[in-house]
Chain A
Amino acid sequence: MSDSLTRAEPVSSEPFAAQGVTITLAPPMARLSLRARDRATLEDLLGRKLPAKIGATAGEIACLGPDEWLLRSAQGAAIPLGEGLPLAVTEISERAVCLIVEGPRAAEVLMAGCPLDLELFASGRATRTIFETVEIILIRSGENRFEVEVWRSFAPWLQLALTTAAAQLR
């Protein structure tokens, strides 16, 4: 993005490994908040299908609320802003970072502070929820892989909480 300015991440990108789980900072990605009362207006704008059910994902897009979708992509795709249309596209690429919690004991680590029943949280699901007092978006991107989106100023706390919980596994 810039020739002269370098990025700074809020947490170390050094992976953390414990018995049965690794915690890694995901590379930067583009994020957009997509909002519309009528899903079709967004689908027309983007030229792609959106998941209909809250909590579902379709490829790069997760449905977080009745009128809210989160698009995350590795490459920043140019998305039209849809000026004047009854919808909202908002750039939030740098609002959050993503911690990837992966391994057979990943769910156990997350349940240290997340009240969801992750055994019943199927692969492919995504939801906004909470880890102790910190809001997160949790995406299960594989049987043993969770992606945790967290606002950048909370990321150091969450990374410490997750690595502490992982180190405490017996």
Chain B
Amino acid sequence: MSGFRLPQCGRIDRSRPVSFSFDGTVYQGYAGDTLASALLANGVMLLGRSFKYHRPRGVLGAGSEEPNALVSVTRGPGRFTPNLRATGVEIYGGLTASSQNRWPSLKTDLGAINDRLGMFLPAGFYNKTFMWPRSFWERLYEPAIRRMAGLGEAPTEIDPDHYGATYAHCDLLIVGAGPAGIDAALEASATSKRVILIDEQDEPGGGALADPALWPWLEESLKDLAAAPNITVLSRTTAFGYYHDNFIGAVERLTDHLPHPAAGLREKLWRIRAGEVILAQGAIERPLVFAGNDVPGVMLASAARTFLHRYGVAVGKRVALMAAHDSGWLDIFALARAGVAVAGIIDVRESVAAPLLTEAEQLGLTIHLGHSVIDVHGRLAVKGVTIARNNGAAAARLACDALLMAGGWTPSVHLWSHSKGSLAWRDELGAYVPDRANEQTRCVGACSGKWNFGSGLVLDALPTPRDPARIKAFVDFQNDVTARDIRLAVREGFKSIEHIKRYTTTGMATDQGKTSNLNGLQIASTALGLPVVDIGLTTFRPPYTPQTFGALAGHAKDALFQPTRKTTIDGWAEENGAVFELVAQWRRARYFPKAGEDMHAAVNRECRAVRASVGIFDASTLGKIEVVGPDAAEFLNRMYTNPWKALEPGRCRYGLLLKEDGFITDDGVSARLAPDRFHLTTTTGGAARVLNMMEDYLQTEWPDLNVWLTSTTEQWAVIALQGPLARKLLEPLVSGIDLSEQAFPHMAIREGTICGVPTRLFRVSFTGELGFEINVPAAYGRALWERLMADGAAYDITPYGTETMHVLRAEKGFIIVGQDTDGTVTPYDAGLDWAVGKKKPDFVGKRSLARPDIAAAGRKQLVGLLTDDPADVLEEGAQIVADPAQAIPMTMLGHVTSSYWSETLGRSIAFALVAGGQGRLGETLHIPMPDKVVTAKVSGMVFYDPAGARLNV
């Protein structure tokens, strides 16, 4: 038993004992403890196994910099969180935590064989070794390595917790509620600024929490802040990323510290926009690099002081200090004053400031100046250390159960670096400090390099008489990178820290090298014989500490993941058993199966009904744009390929829209309501894109045109009535419109009322049958649909979905933009020459149609395909070849774009994009499939009623 709880000190609540479990053993702690402090108080020094060598590891730090003590916490089914730092896990009654990366148990871990083989696992080992045979990599090497290496297990169940998110705005955001951050907030409390002060720990105070002399000040200050109406303090909140224009992402942890089940959100994502940011993130103490510096019980001196003063825990019963910096002396003095036995102070420096020596003598501590620790004894816990003079002479052994390291301080410049602030190297600190700001931000306190911990010696590793190639002196504890690995990388030719980092993986673990980056730099610098600034510095990127996926997703999950757009008629479709498909964000009824029907049976029945009597289809999702103004016709004439100026009010026209590169981007039937008013339709998926494109031309190319565009997609519910009986059904319901063929021909529009509701009634057909598209104000769509269904029962009215719509349009040779075209298809490629106004001097895309490549022979063109076996329905996307006997890889002529069983024709039909297709009519082509080769003849695209006899009735 090496650690223990001290009787007096600490900020824990001794009136509230808490029991929790770690690896199945139940322990006692107090409210206010972290898992790390509570385990140390119980004498548990061994908290985990390392990533690569499976070495026993304890606690190195006391905060979010902790690289070693990673644990998993279970809060019930689906609530499993791996890789939490034990130094940040607050304990509560019933907390269930476990160690990671060990088997069968933490004390007896078979993976630790890697540590014995460590001589054979140098930097780049995996890249160098598991090279051949190639096929072994996927099947053998990688799975085996994955099992051996790694952090905690990924959870496998769906996370049942809820997460929130919000935006917030403030004039001043302060990150870090240590003394510097609190001072900045107090200063701002006298102003009218809106201030947010955030801090990652469970209580504000930062470093002051480990300094009882500051507690009265802290208490006063927090009272003042609580009383200031302009200041919001967020605890347990980590600012994880600093983005453009003072946009900061932060996660507030709301319930992880409470016994479960806890009510409410688990975490909340704060998206904060600040006028000014003050970073007061403090500094992180640096470990020292020497053999055995990772044995459980070797830790940062500042961490030992935090465990002492904040949690009332002594990290050992007989503690030694290995220092290169004055601050460690102050830490060990604090332990000595609290009654902890001190095995000795070892300092690599030959001399230190006189007041430190005086105080050490007063406390009766043994001092070894000019000495270094050259070995640590014990495997699962420190049993003692061997020290030697820096010249290698006179080794001695000290008995101790904990060793503190004081290697100096590294300012926490993570967020500063996210904001792209520049850094300057300070030799005397052996660290980079913030230099020039890139945003409205500044650093205060220790993270700016200003601290009052005294001074120290900056060095790459402690001197040792042992062969540096034969000792494990750790630099990156989490990724198991040693000083030897970095020196090896340099010997192998790596010169930039960016390369050394990737080769050795130093600084690439979940802690992003908080405790290791600068030691790694110093070692590389020494090995290369170059100053640190010439080697570079790796880039810090968000997140500052790992965050849960749940927090980043915020409320965007389940039904709120993204909107599913539903038409006003969707509810009827759902109640009547429709099977749905997603088209863009819309949910559309695909088919309406009756009992016992599969999709094909349902679609065949729906197709028969439309051709024989009348079908009803919800076309509300079609994009609609109202184009209004004196120049409306002129504008459309410039946008679309065909002429629009002569279109009479009351008539419709098919419009084909190209991009300026000449390729089809959208199409739709549009109507002229009045000389200055058009009702455009677009494809469902193209609505927003087309409106944006039209606005672009209107606003920036032709701003002189007096015409305005308004999306009316959602203003209108659209019901398509298609089939020979459509007029009969409609006639009694409509007033103010003569539905006769003479008065209301195909491709016309009339305005009137239907069932008393205003309507824009289109006579159009995407099926080849007599058809109407009834536009009514959206709120009435469902009622009208139900009325049509009721009245249509006499005509065997049949609701049909998008699948039937696709079959019927294909029978008529109508394309679907985006299915039969792919952004490389011109109107000529699609066989839509008739839709191009060749006499028009200009329209969007016209010039490109004359480009040599567009006019060249052999382009892929849309054609029909009829399989020799009429029962063969081709697969959409299947590739087409001329000669199936040719050698692989074959020359592909094109692919099938649409393919259906046509119930009307009693055979399959298909469209395909085929090289030189329009010149291949009648030619037999081949479609090789896994099980056979299908043969098909190239045909025209209109398979049904080519004369349009069924339309004009």
Name A residues whose Cβ lies closer than 8 Å to a Cβ of B. 1-10, 28, 33, 35-37, 67, 81, 83-96, 108, 111-117, 119-120, 132-134, 151-154, 156-158, 160-161, 164-165, 168, 170
Interchain CB contact (< 8 A) of B167 among A9, A91, A115, A168: A115
B708 close to A85 (CB less than 8 A): no
Contact B757 A168 (CB under 8 A): no
Known A5-B783, A33-B710, A88-B710: A111·B756 in contact at CB below 8 Å: no
**Chain B residues with CB below 8 A from A120, complex form:** 169
A133 to B554, CA, bound (A): 13
| B895-930 interface code vs A (CB 8 A; 1 in, 0 out) | 000000000000000000000000000000000000
With A95-B711, A161-B560, A168-B162 in contact, do A2 and B780 touch (Cβ < 8 Å)?
yes
Given A152-B714, A153-B567, also A7-B780 (CB < 8 A): yes
Asked whether A164 and B714 contact (CB < 8 A) given A88-B628, A94-B777, A119-B169, the answer is no
In whole angstroms, how far apart are the Cα atoms of A85 and B560 in the complex? 44
- 30 A-B contacts (beta carbon < 8 Å): A1-B780, A3-B756, A5-B755, A5-B787, A6-B780, A7-B780, A9-B779, A35-B710, A84-B630, A84-B675, A84-B676, A86-B630, A87-B708, A88-B707, A92-B715, A95-B715, A112-B166, A115-B271, A116-B167, A117-B169, A119-B169, A152-B568, A152-B778, A153-B565, A153-B566, A157-B559, A158-B563, A161-B555, A168-B265, A170-B264
Contact in complex: A5, B778 (CB < 8 Å): no
| Interface pair B779/A28, CB less than 8 Å apart | yes
- Name the A residues within 8 Å of B169 (CB-CB): 117, 119-120
- Minimum CB–CB distance from B282 to chain A (whole Å) comes to 29
B778 touches A94 (CB 8 A): yes
Overall SS of chain A's interface: loop
Q: How far is the CA of A50 from the CA of B264 in the complex (A)?
A: 46
Q: Which residues of the other chain, B, contact A154 by a CB distance below 8 angstroms?
A: 563, 565
Q: Is B710 a contact of A10 with CB atoms below 8 Å?
A: no
Residue of B nearest to A153 (CB): B565
| A111 touching B168 in the complex, CB below 8 Å, given contacts A86-B706, A157-B563 | yes
- A37-B706, A84-B630 are contacts. A111–B780 as well, Cβ < 8 Å? no
The answer to whether A5 and B165 touch (CB under 8 A), given A87-B629, A90-B628, is no
Identity of the chain B residue whose Cβ is nearest the Cβ of A33 in the assembled complex: B710
Q: Which chain B positions have C-beta within 8 A of A153?
A: 563, 565-567, 586, 714
Residues of B within 8 A of A35 (CB): 628-629, 708, 710
List 9 other contacts, CB 8 Å, given A5-B787, A90-B708. Answer: A8-B571, A84-B630, A94-B714, A94-B715, A94-B778, A94-B779, A115-B273, A120-B169, A153-B563
Q: Does B860 contact A (CB under 8 A)?
A: no
Chain A CB within 8 A of B626 CB: yes
Confirm or deny: B349 has a beta carbon within 8 angstroms of a beta carbon on chain A: no
Task: Sort A-B residue pairs by CB-CB distance and give the 9 closest, nearest first.
Answer: A88-B628, A157-B563, A153-B565, A35-B708, A88-B708, A5-B783, A117-B169, A2-B756, A86-B706
Q: When A92-B715, A153-B586, A156-B566 are in contact, do A113 and B165 touch as well, CB less than 8 Å?
A: yes
Please name all residues of chain A whose beta carbon is closer than 8 Å to the beta carbon of B396 when the two chains form the complex.
none
Q: How far is the CA of A116 from the CA of B710 in the complex (A)?
A: 25
**Hey, which chain A residues are within 8 Å of B755, CB to CB?**
2, 4-5
Is the CB of B792 closer than 8 A to any CB of chain A?
no
**Contact (Cβ within 8 A) A83 B674:** yes
In the docked arrangement, what's the CA distance between A33 and B710, Å?
8
Which residues of B lie under 8 Å from residue A164 when comparing CB positions?
Answer: 555, 560
Chain B residue nearest to A87 (CB atoms) is: B629
Considering only CB atoms, which chain B residue lies closest to A37 in the complex? B706
- Count of chain B residues near A, Cβ 8 A: 57
B782 on interface, CB distance cutoff 8 Å: yes
Judging by beta carbons under 8 Å apart, are A67 and B165 in contact? no
Query: Is A160 a contact of B628 with CB atoms below 8 Å?
Result: no
Most chain B CB within 10 A, of A67, A114, A116, A168, is at A168
- Max chain A CB contacts within 10 Å: which of B674, B713, B715? B715
Q: Which residues of A contact B891 (CB under 8 A)?
A: none
A5 & B757 in contact (Cβ 8 Å cutoff): yes
Bound complex: CA A87 to CA B631 (Å): 10
Q: Does B781 sit within 8 A of A, measured CB to CB?
A: yes
* B629 & A86 in contact (Cβ 8 Å cutoff): yes
Does chain A have a CB within 8 A of B824? Answer: no
Q: What residues of B have a CB within 8 angstroms of the CB of A157 in the complex?
A: 559-560, 562-564
Query: A93–B710 contact, CB under 8 A?
Result: no
Q: Does B712 contact A (CB under 8 A)?
A: yes
A125 to B235, CA, bound (A): 34
Q: Does B194 contact A (CB under 8 A)?
A: yes
Q: What separation, in Å, do the CA atoms of A7 and B756 have in the docked complex?
A: 12
A156 contact set on B, CB distance < 8 A: 563, 566
CB distance from A51 to the nearest CB of B (A): 18
Q: How far is the CA of A156 from the CA of B562 in the complex (A)?
A: 11
Within 8 A of A (CB), among B476-507: none
A35 to B677, CA, bound (A): 13
Q: Interface digits, B158-175 against A, CB 8 Å rule (1 contact, 0 not)?
A: 000010111111000000
Does B720 count as interface, using CB distance less than 8 angstroms? no
Whether B563 and A85, one on each chain, are in contact in the complex, defined by CB atoms closer than 8 angstroms, is no
Q: A84-B675, A88-B710 are in contact. Are A112 and B165 (CB under 8 A)?
A: yes
**B586 to chain A: which residues have CB within 8 Å?**
153
Instruction: Decide if A93 touches B555 in the complex (CB within 8 Å).
Output: no
Q: Is the CB of B777 within 8 A of A93?
A: yes
Q: Say whether A5 contacts B756, CB under 8 Å.
A: yes
Q: Are B756 and A117 in contact (CB under 8 A)?
A: no
A112-B555 in contact given A90-B628, A94-B715 (Cβ < 8 Å): yes
Asked if B556 CB lies within 8 Å of chain A CBs, one says yes
Assess the B567–A132 pair: CB atoms within 8 A: no
Could you tell me the distance in whole angstroms from the C-beta of A152 to the nearest C-beta in chain B? 5
> Is B784 part of the contact surface with A, judged by Cβ < 8 Å?
yes
Rounded to whole Å, the gap between the CB of B346 and the closest CB of chain A is 51
